[in-house]
Amino acid sequence: MTGPLRGAGPRGRALERDLTALLGAGAASCEPADLWAMSRDCWPRALLWTKAGVAPHPPDVVVWPASAAEVARVVRFAAERRVAVVPFGAGSGVCGGAVPVKGGIALDLKRLSGPPCIDLPARAVDVEAGMNGQRLEELLGGAGATLGHFPSSIYCSTVGGWLAARSAGQLSSRYGKIEDMVLALEAVDGTGEILRTQDVPCAGPDLVQLLVGSEGTLAVLTKARLRCWPSPTARWMRGLRFGSVQAGMAGLRALMRSGLRPAVARLYDPLDTLLAGRGGGDAHVQVPEPLRWVVEGAQAEALRLALRAPVLLNRLVDALPGSSLLLLGFEGDGPFASSDAREEGELALRLLAAEGAEDLGPAPGEKWLANRYKISYRQSPLFSAGAFVDTMEVATTWDRLDPLYGAVRHAVAPHAFVMAHFSHAYLEGCSIYFTFVGLAGAPAGASDADDLEQAEARYDACWNAGLSAACDAGATLSHHHGIGLHKQVFLPREHGEGMRQLRALKQAFDPHGILNPGKLLL
């Protein structure tokens, strides 16, 4: 076998034997294909490993429990032997949260995916952690319901992964983030104890909110009760143009503080407005060629050349017209769905007109809706061409939003080409979703160890600059991607003395330190 596919070691084979004895035939494997497939998630830095043909962190064994009881048995087994257990949903995380850096047992939870129990009158659904997001929406749709949770990874992520990393969907303004939807949890802690919170008013600190977002370091989430709603039957979409991104931020704030609940409220900075070809009324503006290569991943040679001087690329951006596009959408259900969505939309239009917005009609919004998951497909051509692309989603209050935007752009500009949109807005603030495109090195297939080292160095420099600037500007490190391996060195700047609270939680829920070790600095 060539390349990164490696056979199991004696430890892996012993674990496979024991775990098969524990759970039955077919529940464990240390086949090279399985070990390789579980050796990384979708952290872009790990894609650089793949590009260079290496897989530095395979687990020793993969196990597929089919129930919370089986998860508990595996965890107890691992706790007795002090073997690492790394929970794994669908591996779409972008922070290395599921990379088994200490080897051990990769705990694939996708067999926990029995049919969801949908109770639409109670606005609740009980669903197992391994359930795929799109499959869940298909099944909910069959019952006239929706979760309203539509991350761009919905096709390739699980309910457990959403909860573990505090996922946000594209319609979060209306439906909330996943932590806003969770009513109760079932989880297995690091001692193999099964915890079941209750969907009733409870005493003491909220156990649910202490486990949600713990990225597999405190407990293995096995089941959740989530809020669901009747499926919307009408949508009203609009594009609006602001003279500047700052005017757009002010408009977005006015909209969110009005009490209206748009399903879609996405503000694009001038570059994102232009490059994504959303029109925005600026179709007549010629986008300089190098910028097009960057976004489309085309012209591999020219793209790599352009990315050698990201500062120049970013200056090209500064010379572009400054208008900013806001995509707005409202949903309705029930007998008055269309008129309700329209009524709210028109109220929002009036309010935003007062903030200086120009109405571009429904086309930009509808175009976005039709292509809303396309972003997730864009990284392959770029990596293939020798670039890296990554996204940094930070959040802060309205008063600090523009300084945050400026500081991160300025800090990242020497390292990568950068654009941004504002896609999760709240009463008090908003997240910013920065996209970086940088030079990874040789195109895939021509990459080697030296190339990997340089690519990693460029990638790390870009991130260090971006996260430092975000921390200095008072923002939170992550709005919905999580921490994983990737951002953990910055975690003390986020939590300060709170790190000791975090470690106390670790001691409480995983006293043997076996759950996803090496993440969140735990």
Partner 1 sequence: MNGLRDDLSATGSAVVAEGEGLRVTPPSVAALGRAVAVLRGHLLPVRVRGNGDAPVEAPPGGALLELTALDRIASVDGATGIARVEAGCSVAALETAARRAGATLGPLLPSVRAGSVGAWLAGPTRGERAVPGARRETAALSVSAVLADGRLAESRAAPRSATGPDLDHLALGGSGRLCVIAAAWVRLFPAAPPAYAAWRAPDLPAAVRMVERLCGDRLAPARGMLRMHEGAALVALSWEGPEAARLLRDRSVRALGEPLAVDAGPEVRAPASSRAVEVDARWDAIAAFAGHPGAAELALYGMHAGGAFAVLSLGAEGVEQCAGAARAPGARLIAPRRLRDAGPSWEEMGAGAAWGRLVAALGAEERP
Partner 2 sequence: MTGLTRALELCLFCPKMCRFACPVSEATSREAFTPWGKVSLAALAGRAPDESAALAFGACTGCLRCQTYCAHANDVPELLYAARAGAVRAGSAPRAWAEVARRMSTEGHAEEVDVRGVLRRIAEEVATATATPTATATPTATPSRTVAATRLRAVAGAVTALLRPAVQPGMGRPMLFAGCDALAAGGKVVREAIAVARVAGAPLGLTPEGALCCGLKLVEAGHPEMFAAHAARVRMALLGGSRRPAPVHLVTLSPACARAIRERWPALPDGSRVEHVTTYLSRALAARPDVRERPPLPESAAYHDPCELARGLSELTAPRALLAAAVEEVREPLRCGADAACCGANGLLPRTLPAVAAAIAEDRREELERCGAPAVTASPGCAAALGAEDVVSVLARWLGVAVEHPP
Stretch that binds partner 2, among 91-99, 415-423, 448-456, 476-484 (CB under 8 A): 91-99
State the DSSP H helix or E strand holding residue 320, giving kind and residue range, or none if neither.
none
Q: Candidates 101-109, 125-133, 354-362, 496-504 — which segment interacts with partner 1 by CB under 8 A?
A: 496-504
Contact of 104 with 216, CB cutoff 8 Å? no
State the Cα–Cα distance between residues 147 and 136, nearest whole angstrom: 9
| One residue of 142, 334, 361, 414 binding partner 1 per CB under 8 A | 334
With CB under 8 A as the contact rule, the residue among 30, 99, 154, 505 that binds partner 1 is 505
* Displacement of CA 401 from its chain's centroid (Å): 20
Q: Does 122 bind partner 1 (CB under 8 A)?
A: yes
360, 238 in Cβ contact below 8 A? yes
Among partner 1, partner 2, none, residue 174 binds (CB under 5-8 Å by kind): partner 1
Does position 34 bind partner 2 by CB under 8 A? yes
Q: Quick one: 27 or 185, whose CB is closer to partner 1?
A: 185
104 contacts partner 1 (rule: CB under 8 A): no
Could you list the beta-strand ranges (E) of 66-157: 85-88, 105-108, 117-119, 124-128, 145-146
The least CB distance from residue 311 to partner 1, in Å, is: 29
Q: Which does 509 bind (CB under 5 to 8 A by kind): partner 1, partner 2, none?
A: partner 1
Q: What one-character DSSP code corresponds to residue 194?
A: E
**CB 258 → partner 1: shortest distance, Å?**
4
The region, left, alpha or beta by phi > 0 then psi within -120 to 50, assigned to residue 29 is beta
Q: Which of residues 27-66 bind partner 1 (CB under 8 A)?
A: none
Q: Do residues 147 and 226 make contact, with C-beta atoms less than 8 angstroms apart?
A: yes
Chain positions 403 to 462 lying near partner 2, rule: CB under 8 A, are 444-445
- Contact between 153 and partner 1 (CB under 8 A)? no
User: How many whole angstroms separate alpha carbon 390 and alpha carbon 154?
Assistant: 18
Report the residue number, 26 or 335, with the smaller CB distance to partner 1: 335
| The dihedral sign for the CA sequence 372, 374, 376, 382 | negative
Near partner 2 by CB under 8 A, which window of 24-32, 308-316, 481-489, 506-514?
24-32
Nearer to partner 2 by C-beta: 336 or 377?
A: 377
CA 93/CA 95 separation, integer angstroms: 6
Considering the complex, state which of residue 96 and residue 103 has its C-beta at the smaller distance from partner 1.
96
Question: In whole angstroms, what separates CA 26 from the centre of its chain?
Answer: 31
Could you tell me which stretch among 47-55, 77-85, 245-253, 263-271 binds partner 2 (CB under 8 A)?
47-55
Stretch that binds partner 1, among 21-29, 269-277, 321-329, 486-494 (CB under 8 A): 486-494
> Which of these segments, 132-140, 217-225, 481-489, 504-512, binds partner 2 (CB under 8 A)?
132-140
Numbers of helices and strands, H then E, in the chain: 21, 18
What is the footprint of partner 1 within residues 184-223 (CB under 8 A)? 189, 191, 193-207, 209-215, 217-218
Give the whole-angstrom CA distance, residue 116 versus residue 286.
50
Cα–Cα dist 222/386, whole Å: 39
Q: Is the dihedral of CA 126, 130, 135, 137 positive or negative?
A: positive
Q: Does residue 338 interact with partner 1 by CB under 8 A? A: no
DSSP 241: E
| Minimal distance, residue 262 CB to partner 1, in Å | 11
Q: Rule CB under 8 A: is residue 347 a binding residue for partner 1?
A: yes
Residues 42, 231: Cα–Cα separation, whole Å = 31
By CB under 8 A, tell whether 464 contacts partner 1: no
Q: Is 64 a residue that touches partner 2 (CB under 8 A)?
A: yes
